[in-house]
Structures are given as structure tokens and as C-alpha cells.
Structure 1
């Protein structure tokens, strides 16, 4: 047996590093498509309702939307839903390698815009959470509070790493912030996926207080845990860990597609048709 033949036989059929990179890209593309659908819904519902002055239409789809006499709360609510369009639209562009490498000026300014809006929306959401009557269970309050606090923490750490030119650390903190910022989107996807696996029965879901509601509200936590495992696999030399992480990313991509489909039919399309 020649040396070249032995090398060929010992070479793995699948390169773990390439598989991990490909799987991460697949998940990101599916997430970007799902978030695009969410962006279009925000524009078609919240922006159109705002321009028409039809705030009662918003109240039909949210809890504690506009409350008579609550000037600060109403302003925070409106800014929150309107800024959600910009943060959801600008976020994915920060993680497209071609954009980051070829249009660095745009990447920097879009990143500053994304971080600023993320800090504003999360701070406003925390204020709304504690200034207005709480709905749902205490566990839901904890999950939502943790999401808002982590957005601020991850954003500050991403900025700190960028200023110190530690770009690998900056990328990791920015990815964590992206997951936390997407908490509202993950919340919808969680219900879509739960609807799918229970064939519409959705046991344990009751006015945002049931165990299923808490699990669904925690979807972003599961996504964050998945990201941490993916980042760990990138740093480790083990091909097995990389392949496991790649398989998990592909499975997560499929879940995102299925969840986006059912979330659209549960939440977004019926609202627009009403």
C-alpha cells in the first residue's frame, strides 16, 4: 500500500470543521428567513396601525397595550413595537460574512445602531414589565426579566470586546446578544412548534401561566444553550463533538422552519387578515 493510498483511506468521509460551519450557516439562513417573516408582520400590522391611528387594533393582539392615562407606558409600548422592526431587520446582517468582510464601514455603523436599539428596547421592556400590572406566572416574569438583563449585559460585553479589538470575543458576545434579542421571536416559534408536536392540542397552556407556557417562553434559553455548545465545538479539536454540534444545528434549522410556518399561521397571518 502506498503512502498516498493510506492517506486517502484514513481521511474521514466528512470533514468535521466543514460540517460544523455548513450546519451553522444552514441554521442562520433559516433563522434569517423566519425573522424576515416576523419583520414583514411588524411592518404590516404595527406600522400600518400606527400610521392609521388605529391603536385599538393593536390592543386586540397584545396584553396591556394602550392604557388610558398611562402616557409613559403607552410611549414605551409604542416605541418598543416600532423599534422591534429595526432591530429584527438589522441584526442578521451583522453575521453575514460577505457583508462583514466587504462592507466594514456598514458593519460597524449597523452594529452601533443594532446595539443602541437593543439597549433601548430591552430597557423599555423592563420598565414596562415592572411599571404595569404583570400578567402570567412569576416564572414568566423571571424569564422575561432575565432576557432583558442579558441583552444589556451581552451588548455591553460585545462593545467592550470590539473596543479592545478582541474580535473573536466580540463575535461570541454579539451572537449571544442576537439570541437574547430574538427572545420575542423565539417565543412565537415556541408556540408554533408546540402546536405542531401536539397536533393543536397544546396541553398545559393556560393564559401564560401553565407549565407549557413557561417552557415556550424559555425557548430562547434553549437556543442560547445550543449556541454555547456550537461555540464550544468550534474551539475543541474533537471531530466527534463538531459532528454532534453540526447535527444539532441541522435539527434546529428544521425546527425553525416548521415553527415559523405554524407561528405564521397561528399569529401573523390571522392578525393581518382580521
Structure 2
């Protein structure tokens, strides 16, 4: 028997609960994106103006490498384009904005696609040439996220031009999730640190089962959850819809915990230091 609060005659139905949970997830992510953009502008932007690109090594020790103009340019593209891409992408998901300002939605979408692809190419180049922390599987998952951005961009544009808006929405969501994979990783790993400490993490090499699990939950699992949310929105199986709503609420809470952790431990010190 269904719970009374989810009875068809009540105000809160399973589908409304799912919609509320999606909005909560989006708001929590938007908060994280805003803080991340502030960190990028003040941390990288102001440091670059006052200390030059070499000052970026205060934030990331592989940000600037002497006599590597191509790599330094790629890193600058990777960071500075993200400022526009992150918030611009979220504007694409606001339904009222899409309906009222269709021209803006089209042009902002084109900018988002171009920037997301540029950032992904730059990120993959830097990973191959300069390397990064973690093991090979973690690197493969990060590369997978970059490839999803590029493939999703192609199909999002193709379906939009064909005016197949249902398919366009699916590919646009995949693109959005993949483009935010790096932010997801930061939120999830710092949420893990706050709750479990360094359990499952080798802090010297940044390897371990926890790091691998967080990588999976940042680059692969969001794509699967998107399919679950889509299915839960059209199914008549109540427990799936309710369960998906609870999952989205849980993810929102994890995002907020991670936001507190990454802000206090990384972003705020990076700005004021």
C-alpha cells in the first residue's frame, strides 16, 4: 500500500517529490558552481595579474612549467574558459529561461559547447603531457569524462539542428554532467574527507579504493543516474520514483557537505593565501 503522503489525491505525489529533489540537487550544485567560479576568478585571475602565470603554482604545482608555452596556454584555457562555461551551462537547464529567451538559449548553448570541448581537449592534453595524481584507472575515467563531453556535444548540436528536442535534451544533460565531472570529484572527495577522513586514501600518492570510487561517482555514475531519473519520471512504479527522489536528495546533501569541505580546506585558503 502506498504511503498516504504520496496518494494521488494528496498534494505531494511521487512525481512532485522527484521534481522537488531535482530542484534541490540543481540548487546545491549551483551553489558549488558559484563558489568554484569565485575561486577561479580570485585565485587564478588575481594571482595571474599580480604574480604572472608562474604564480598559479601556488594553487596547483603543475599549473605553470617554464619553457612550455603550449602547456601553459592549455592550462590557461582549461581554467579561464571554465569561468564562463560553468555558469553558462547551468542557465541552459532553467526551463523558464529556455521558454522565454529562446535566442539566448541557442547562442548560450553554442558557447557552452565550444568552451566545454576546448576545456576537455586542454584537460586531456595536460593529463597526457604533464600527468597528474592518481592511478591509471582514475586517469582513464577522467579521459572518459572528456570524451563524453566531446561526443555529447556533437549529438546535442546534431539533434538540435534536426529539431529532435527530446533527443537533444538527453544529450545536453549528458554533456552538462560530463562537463561538471571535475567539480563533482572535488565535492565528493572532500565530503568523503569530512565524513571518513583519509580512510581508503593514500595521501602521498592520492590513490586508493576511496579515490577510485569517487572517480566512478564523478564521471560514470552521474550518467547512469540521469537515465534513472528519466525513467523514474515516466514510470508508474511508485517505489522507483520515491527511491530516485530520495537518492537525489542524498546527493544534494553530499554536495553541500563537500562544498563546506572544499571551501574551507582548498578554495578559501587559495584565495586569501
Please confirm whether the aligned pair reaches a TM-score higher than 0.5, indicating the same fold. yes
Counterparts in 2 of 1:104 and 1:249: CA distance versus 1, 3 Å: same
Q: Equivalent residue for 1:273?
A: 272
Q: State how far apart, in whole Å, the 1-side matches of 2:9 and 2:132 are.
A: 58
CA RMSD of the aligned region, Å?
A: 1.8
Q: State how far apart, in whole Å, the 2-side matches of 1:240 and 1:169 are.
A: 27
Q: State how far apart, in whole Å, the 1-side matches of 2:190 and 2:67 are.
A: 35
Q: Which runs of 5+ in 1 are unaligned?
A: 1-8
Q: Equivalent residue for 2:246?
A: 247
Q: Equivalent residue for 1:226?
A: 225
Q: Equivalent residue for 2:263?
A: 264
Q: State how far apart, in whole Å, the 2-side matches of 1:270 and 1:10 are.
A: 50
Answer yes or no: is 1:144 the counterpart of 2:131.
no
What TM-score do you get using the length of structure 1 for normalisation? 0.90
Is the CA contact (8 Å cut-off) linking 2:48 and 2:55 kept in structure 1? no
Q: Equivalent residue for 1:204?
A: 201
Q: State how far apart, in whole Å, the 2-side matches of 1:204 and 1:99 are.
A: 42
Q: State how far apart, in whole Å, the 2-side matches of 1:205 and 1:215 are.
A: 13
Is the CA contact (8 Å cut-off) linking 1:187 and 1:218 kept in structure 2? no
Written as runs of structure 1 = structure 2, the 5 A alignment for 1:131-210 is 131-198=129-196, 200-206=197-203, 207-210=205-208
Find the partner of 2:126 among 119, 125, 128: 128
Instruction: Tell me which structure has the larger Cα radius of gyration.
Output: 1
What TM-score do you get using the length of structure 2 for normalisation? 0.91
Q: State how far apart, in whole Å, the 2-side matches of 1:63 and 1:145 are.
A: 21
Counterparts in 2 of 1:77 and 1:98: CA distance versus 1, 3 Å: same
- Number of residue pairs the alignment of both structures matches: 265
Please state how far the C-alpha of 1:13 moved relative to its aligned partner: 6.4
Please state how far the C-alpha of 1:10 moved relative to its aligned partner: 6.9
Please state how far the C-alpha of 1:134 moved relative to its aligned partner: 4.8
Q: State how far apart, in whole Å, the 1-side matches of 2:115 and 2:151 are.
A: 14
Q: State how far apart, in whole Å, the 1-side matches of 2:13 and 2:184 are.
A: 31
Counterparts in 2 of 1:52 and 1:232: CA distance versus 1, 3 Å: same
Question: What SS is found at the alignment partner of 2:92?
Answer: helix
Q: Equivalent residue for 2:4?
A: none
Is the CA contact (8 Å cut-off) linking 1:208 and 1:214 kept in structure 2? no
Q: Equivalent residue for 1:73?
A: 71
Find the partner of 1:100 among 98, 112, 116: 98
Please state how far the C-alpha of 1:228 moved relative to its aligned partner: 1.9
Q: State how far apart, in whole Å, the 2-side matches of 1:234 and 1:10 are.
A: 15
Q: Which runs of 5+ in 2 are unaligned?
A: 1-6
Is the CA contact (8 Å cut-off) linking 2:117 and 2:153 kept in structure 1? yes
Counterparts in 2 of 1:218 and 1:205: CA distance versus 1, 3 Å: farther
Q: State how far apart, in whole Å, the 2-side matches of 1:133 and 1:103 are.
A: 42
